[in-house]
């Protein structure tokens, strides 16, 4: 599964893990990506989106139609 949110564009961040002795090693901060299925009434079909947990809350607030419109304006395929 790709670690990329279709709505917000959240991607992994990179940084350092710092041990007790203060040695630094590379690490990756992954967003909380989930696959969620929504009913899209305007098209009469279900769609499956790859969203971060924050984006799922955004869809609950603005609605699926507005969220799909945002994804399409970003150039995403639904």
Could you read off the pLDDT tens digit of each residue along the chain, which spans 78 residues? 578 999 999 999 999 999 999 999 999 999 999 999 999 999 999 999 999 999 999 999 999 999 999 999 999 999
- Cα-flanking dihedrals φ and ψ of residue 40, to 5°? -105, 100
CA distance 43 to 41: 5
pTM: 0.86
| CA angle at 60 for the pair 76 and 4, rounded to the nearest 5° | 35
Asked whether the CA dihedral 39, 44, 47, 53 is positive or negative, the reply is negative
């Amino acid at each position: 599964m790709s670690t990329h949110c279709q709505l917000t564009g959240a991607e992994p961040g990179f940084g350092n893990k710092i041990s007790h002795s203060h040695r630094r090693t590379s690490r990756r901060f992954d967003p909380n990506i989930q696959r969620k299925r929504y009913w899209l009434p305007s098209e009469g079909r279900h769609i499956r989106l790859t969203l971060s947990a924050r984006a799922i809350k955004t869809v609950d607030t603005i609605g699926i139609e507005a969220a799909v419109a945002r994804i399409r304006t970003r150039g995403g395929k639904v």
